[in-house]
Structure 1
Amino acid sequence: MKTLNKCKAYKKIGKLMFVAAFMGLATSCNDQLKEEVFNFYDVNEYFKDTENLDMAVNGVYETFSNISTYGQYWMVYDTDTDISHIQGASIGHVARDLGHYNAYATHSWLQESWQLYYRGIDRANTILERCGDVTLKGEAADTIKYKKLVAQTKCLRAMCYFDLVRLFGDVPFKLNASKDGDDFKLPKTDRNVIYDQIFKDFEEAIPDLQWRDAEERINKGAAMGLLARAYMFRGGYSLYGSGLVGEMKRSDNYKEYYQKAQTVLNELVDSNQHGLLSSYERVFRNMCEQVYDPFENICEIAFFTPTGQPLGASVMGTYNGPSIAQTSIYGRANSFIKTHHFFYDTYESGDLRRSVAIATFQISNTDAATNTTSEIPRSKSYTWAPGKWRRNWHTGAVKDNNNTDVNVVLLRYSDVLLMLAEVENELNNGPTAKAIECVNQVRRRAFGLPYKTADAVRDLKVTDFADKNAFFDYLFKERARELCFEGGRRLDLVRWNLLGKAIMDTKTKFDEAMASKLFGKYSFLAGERYTAGKHELYPIPDYDIRETKGLIIQNPGY
């Protein structure tokens, strides 16, 4: 394990500014003043060696190391579900509107994310067009570095498009770098065509990536795991159509994509390059202590802010952690992402993950001597918060009340195991011995046991499940218990076509708890506002529909 010099990585990212986003710039002026610019690189001269190529690739990574994507907004894109919700039972607030299913086409966060993803795509397209200009030094190490950087660029482009199609469905599709004179008024492309390119980018990248990388970069295991995830989403449900109400559909040949995922996941597991740490808590303490260890956290998005400013920062632990007073030595945490005891109660007694994942407390006082941790009563469990990145675990200096240097985890090995269990169950019409072993490895670690050693007490058996549906129901709950608040729950529910059911079941629990006086007065607003056939996707930003003069058709219901 090692702590990355994030400051060095951040400075490298900041050096590259040679292209603009292609979307959101749909109009141009032909009569431009010609003036020599000194603070931008000339793209025709830039790609001369692998050092400059390295800086260019860092410019694409910047897409994800941003408040407008994984630094903050993605936390809200992952709510409201059966396990989390945005604090506050009202709308009219930028985050609550998205979380409580009051999304609209003029929402600034959606526009910012959209533009940032397309900027990343255009940067990647530029690199892939111009990487042939690079002069290699003739050393084997330089050739390896070159191939790795090109491979990472393909992965990053695939990741941008993968997020776009999961959030928005069919979107404009472009594989060439933008230049003067281009027609930026592009219509939507069928998401399944885009998925084919996502697969192609990942598949081409994998052979040239290393199993481990000294920096927080895309490695071979990450590309394989993300490819498998993309296969599973392609084989899952998605919202199609336009007009007032869309239709949730999956392709007739969806199992072909599960089979592809199975192949990749088996190869990744059999490689023995990744595994589980002995302690579930240590996974997240490492992140809070800025210790980079890709053994379990196969892919992390790196964040660093030199002085606390938003650029390069995340809000991990402040926005999605327990509430901490502004005067605390730990720094403030405004705690906007919340959970509840309905999710807490899905953990078995003795499951060590529960006390890590869910913070049932808040910290209220001011200094080392008087910092007070107070428990929040069960009657107000709707104010309990994610605990994985709690600010009182952070070891770095407090630079800002909101912004932190804590990374976002994009793929953990436990997710790989649970994906493999899911595809085994789907393809074999019920759990196999391999599927059971996958969930048992996750389960053993959850109870503090060596994860590869069979345990007669805690291990599950094939005969514990009546059929495929019974095992899926276990996976439905286990993915939440293991991976909660890591950014994937709402989209998992969409690909299973269970988002509406999960929301309505949770609303029923809220209503019953209040009716029986077990809860204070609180409305789970998602249950009142969610509309099937609409809210499985976000609206296409209004700006892009307007600037393309309606060539882009709005998603159903908006």
Structure 2
Amino acid sequence: MAAGLSAVSCASWLETSSPSVVDADFVFSDFGTGKDVMLGAYNSYISVVNEGTVINLEVIGSDLERASVGIIANQIGAAQLYGPEGTSYDVPNFDINDRSLAKWSTFYSVISLCNNIIANIKNLPDYEQIIGAAEPSDWSDLLGQAYAMRATCYYDLARLYGDVIYMTEDQLGQDIKTLTGRDEIIEKEINNLIAIEPLMYRVGENNHLPDQMTRNYVQGLIGRLCFMEAGYATRRTDLGDDFYKDADGNVLTFETWGTDDERNAAYGRRTDWKDFYAMAVPYLESAVNEPGGGVSLITVDPRSDKEGRSYGNPFQYYFDQVTKQVMPMESIYEVTMKQEGGGSRIAYNWGRG
């Protein structure tokens, strides 16, 4: 009897899998562990937006002043960047190969995590109930965050690279090497966001803070992506007349402003550009007029000194909230940033922007 029990016990122990080896069904059997996967995507996204390519190349010359002082002074020249109104400046060529490759791969690692989240939520037994509900739930909101993060990555990829590889939850595990036109990608991502937007929480609802993507953020993102599609952009002319398509596979036509045969490029906008402005309006209006209880525009500065003198600077009050580690009233989404050491200027650069 003892020997028999011992054999059964040993066999059962040998057949038990290690708790460190889990599959997707186990992870997404509980919302908490599913949420952890999304947190991993946020952490990866933080690393790519803090990477040097962003600081070097984005919005140089804009009033955000996000580029570091060293880049402005040494590579561009402050006199060119902040010259009199109406003057122009030359932005030097940057060798971004090393940083660009790292940025590219990190974007796709984030996209891969989002695709896994989307696919596994779609595989939940009650998925149809989740997306068919009249109100947001934990799972529908998590699905929305994954769609929002993925769309944000494709927005940046389209801005920086143009036509890129398009991977969705339907291509998990596939080795895709072909390019998809930027318009098809962005339009499909817009459609996904429009479908999931009503099933997400706003800032302040269900303990949601601006450290995660919310319904407020998605409404603004829909508007931003629509503006991208409505605006002018450089597109390639060496990929065939039928390369650029919309989300339904229809070949697009463009209002072309100029071409460069040497570089196989054309600068123009879609002939249906007005449709995207119209599409953006209700979402941007909702973002402004129905922000929920967790976010509001700062129009009054409540601060005063010990002598009772009012500061009267609502614009600066936002930055005062940031530095005091109080959740700023105007923040819709914040990329988490730690205090830097060792002379790094990243936090300073982004704080100015």
Q: TM-score range by the shorter chain?
A: 0.5 to 0.7
Q: CA deviation at 1:209?
A: 1.3
Equivalent position of 2:187 in the other structure? 196
Hey, what's the Cα distance between the residues in 2 that align with 1:70 and 1:157? 17
Equivalent position of 1:433 in the other structure? none
> Is the Cα contact below 8 Å between 1:171 and 1:188 reproduced in 2?
yes
Gaps of 5+ in 2: 1-16, 77-89, 239-261, 301-313
Deviations along 1:188-227, one digit per CA (max 9) or x if unpaired, are 1111100112202221221111122433111111110111
TM score, norm. by length of structure 2: 0.66
Hey, what's the Cα distance between the residues in 1 that align with 2:290 and 2:62? 35
Say if 2:165 is the partner of 1:172. yes
Hey, what's the Cα distance between the residues in 1 that align with 2:277 and 2:155? 17
Which of 136, 139, 144 aligns to 1:146? It is: 139
Which of 262, 279, 295 aligns to 2:281? It is: 262
Residue type of the alignment partner of 1:316? A
Residue type of the alignment partner of 2:224? R
Equivalent position of 2:202 in the other structure? 211
Equivalent position of 2:297 in the other structure? 276
Which of 58, 66, 76 aligns to 2:39? It is: 58
> Is the Cα contact below 8 Å between 1:151 and 1:205 reproduced in 2?
yes
Q: CA deviation at 1:155?
A: 0.8
Say if 2:44 is the partner of 1:76. no
Q: Quick one: structure 1 residues 100 and 208, their matched pair in 2 at CA, closer, same or farther if it must change by over 3 Å?
A: same
Quick one: higher RCO (CA 8 Å, sep 6+), 1 or 2?
Answer: 1
Match of 1:212, SS?
A: coil
Hey, what's the Cα distance between the residues in 1 that align with 2:202 and 2:75? 46
Residue type of the alignment partner of 1:269? V
Which of 230, 240, 243 aligns to 2:225? It is: 230
> Is the Cα contact below 8 Å between 1:123 and 1:177 reproduced in 2?
no
Q: CA deviation at 1:82?
A: 5.2
Which of 334, 338, 342 aligns to 1:300? It is: 334
Residue type of the alignment partner of 1:183? D
Q: CA deviation at 1:253?
A: 1.7
Hey, what's the Cα distance between the residues in 1 that align with 2:145 and 2:264? 38
Equivalent position of 2:347 in the other structure? 316
Equivalences for 1:477-496 in 2 at 5 Å? 486=353
Q: CA deviation at 1:45?
A: 3.1
Hey, what's the Cα distance between the residues in 1 that align with 2:214 and 2:291? 14
> Is the Cα contact below 8 Å between 1:48 and 1:135 reproduced in 2?
no
TM score, norm. by length of structure 1: 0.43
> Is the Cα contact below 8 Å between 2:338 and 2:347 reproduced in 1?
no
> Is the Cα contact below 8 Å between 2:216 and 2:291 reproduced in 1?
no
Q: CA deviation at 1:292?
A: 1.8
Q: CA deviation at 1:146?
A: 1.4
Deviations along 1:410-446, one digit per CA (max 9) or x if unpaired, are xxxxxxxxxxxxxxxxxxxxxxxxxxxxxxxxxxxxx
Deviations along 1:152-207, one digit per CA (max 9) or x if unpaired, are 11111111111111111111111136655x333x2111111001122022212211
Equivalent position of 1:252 in the other structure? 271
Hey, what's the Cα distance between the residues in 2 that align with 1:45 and 1:178? 21
Q: Quick one: structure 1 residues 192 and 72, their matched pair in 2 at CA, closer, same or farther if it must change by over 3 Å?
A: same
Equivalences for 1:116-131 in 2 at 5 Å? 116-131=106-121
Deviations along 1:336-385, one digit per CA (max 9) or x if unpaired, are xxxxxxxxxxxxxxxxxxxxxxxxxxxxxxxxxxxxxxxxxxxxxxxxxx
Match of 2:297, SS?
A: coil
Match of 1:62, SS?
A: helix
Q: CA deviation at 1:133?
A: 4.9
Q: CA deviation at 1:231?
A: 0.6
Gaps of 5+ in 1: 1-35, 92-98, 321-388, 390-484, 487-558
Equivalent position of 1:514 in the other structure? none
Taking every aligned residue pair, what percent have the same amino acid on both sides?
19
> Is the Cα contact below 8 Å between 2:51 and 2:103 reproduced in 1?
no
Residue type of the alignment partner of 2:152? M
Equivalences for 1:473-512 in 2 at 5 Å? 486=353
Equivalent position of 2:152 in the other structure? 159
Hey, what's the Cα distance between the residues in 1 that align with 2:115 and 2:197? 18
> Is the Cα contact below 8 Å between 2:212 and 2:333 reproduced in 1?
yes
Hey, what's the Cα distance between the residues in 1 that align with 2:50 and 2:122? 31
Match of 1:248, SS?
A: strand
Equivalent position of 1:494 in the other structure? none
Match of 1:187, SS?
A: coil
Q: CA deviation at 1:59?
A: 1.6
Residue type of the alignment partner of 1:162? Y
Q: CA deviation at 1:309?
A: 9.7
> Is the Cα contact below 8 Å between 1:158 and 1:197 reproduced in 2?
no
Q: CA deviation at 1:282?
A: 1.6
Equivalent position of 1:43 in the other structure? 24
Deviations along 1:106-126, one digit per CA (max 9) or x if unpaired, are 611111111111111111111
Residue type of the alignment partner of 1:77? L
Q: CA deviation at 1:131?
A: 1.6
> Is the Cα contact below 8 Å between 1:152 and 1:205 reproduced in 2?
no
Deviations along 1:83-102, one digit per CA (max 9) or x if unpaired, are 456234449xxxxxxx9442
Q: Quick one: structure 1 residues 39 and 114, their matched pair in 2 at CA, closer, same or farther if it must change by over 3 Å?
A: farther
More helix by percentage: 2
Equivalent position of 2:234 in the other structure? 239
Equivalent position of 1:29 in the other structure? none
Hey, what's the Cα distance between the residues in 2 that align with 1:267 and 1:240? 32
Hey, what's the Cα distance between the residues in 2 that align with 1:249 and 1:40? 51
Residue type of the alignment partner of 2:105? Q
> Is the Cα contact below 8 Å between 1:228 and 1:261 reproduced in 2?
yes
Residue type of the alignment partner of 1:172? I
Hey, what's the Cα distance between the residues in 1 that align with 2:268 and 2:100? 24
Equivalences for 1:424-463 in 2 at 5 Å? none
Hey, what's the Cα distance between the residues in 2 that align with 1:179 and 1:230? 24
Q: Quick one: structure 1 residues 179 and 39, their matched pair in 2 at CA, closer, same or farther if it must change by over 3 Å?
A: farther
> Is the Cα contact below 8 Å between 1:126 and 1:177 reproduced in 2?
no
Hey, what's the Cα distance between the residues in 2 that align with 1:234 and 1:80? 22
Match of 2:333, SS?
A: strand
Match of 1:249, SS?
A: strand
